[in-house]
Amino acid sequence: MKITFDIDRYNELLEKEKRLSQENNSLIFENKDEFIELLSYGARVKDQISYERNQDYYSLISQYIDKVVTAPIFQSEFLKMEKEDAKAAKIITDDFKQLARFSVDLKAVEFSSLIEGISEVCMVACEFGPEEGISDQKFRKSIEKTFLQIQNFLNEE
């Protein structure tokens, strides 16, 4: 099952945001649902890009689980990969021709929701540290839990 994009609708939302921006306004304030809809295009593209390199993510997580890499290195590497995917997604959403040809596997959305959990704890760990953020133990437990889910998910494929 694949998702394709309604380019006309995307263009309409972009134009709306651009027009509102010129009036010092935004869809954020005018119509939050449409703002979310606008962002969902980029988010879905990123889901697919991340899914296509699921083995890279899996490998990195395995290395952390097996204590091959330390928590700080894992966190920074994981967030770096996500940033790369977001950057690649931006290039596609900025180009209507590419976006029109792009399709997203429903599995990609599922995979993305799994790695989103890891991303969140990585961000908290980087930003706050163990006292206010997340302890090393809790961090490891959280990654281990998600790792099992990812393993199951990839085995089902």
Partner 1 sequence: MKILKYIIFLSIFCGIFFCRWRISFKTAITFSAIAAGLIPVNSELLGNNNQFYQERLLSDQEFNLFEDSDQRVIFAKNSGEAEAFPVTPINKSGQNRNGLFGTGNEKGNPDDDPSNSNTPFSDFKENRAESKNYEHQIYRKMSDKDANSETDDESECSIDEVKTVVANDGTFIHAEKSQVRDKGLHISDFLDAETLDGKFDVIEAEKLKYLDRLKYLRDENNLPDEIVITARDKILDFMTADDTKLVPGYLGYSKIEGTVFINLRLNKVGFRDNNGYRFRTAMTMGDDKILKLAKTDFHLFPDAGKPKN
Residue 82 binds partner 1, judged by CB under 8 A: yes
- Binding partner 1 by CB under 8 A: which of 89, 114, 118, 150? 89
Residue 40 binds partner 1, judged by CB under 8 A: yes
CA quadruple 130, 135, 136, 141: dihedral sign: negative
Indicate the residue among 26 and 62 with the shorter CB distance to partner 1: 26
- Nearest CA to 98 out of 11, 34, 7, 20 is that of 7
Q: At what angle do helices 54-65 and 32-52 cross, to 10 degrees?
A: 80
Alpha helices in the chain (DSSP H): 7-22, 27-30, 32-52, 54-65, 71-93, 96-101, 106-132, 136-156
- Binding partner 1 by CB under 8 A: which of 95, 129, 141, 149? 129
Q: Which amino acid is at 101?
A: R
Interface segment toward partner 1; rule CB under 8 A; list 2-10, 57-65, 69-77, 144-152? 69-77
The contacts found for 63-69 with CB under 8 angstroms, 24 or more apart, are: 64/143, 65/143, 65/144, 65/147
Residue 70 binds partner 1, judged by CB under 8 A: yes
Interface segment toward partner 1; rule CB under 8 A; list 3-11, 20-28, 51-59, 95-103? 20-28
Q: Which residues bind partner 1 (CB under 8 A)?
A: 17, 21, 24, 26, 28-29, 32, 35-36, 39-43, 46-47, 70-73, 75-76, 82-83, 85-87, 89-90, 93, 112, 116, 119-120, 123-135
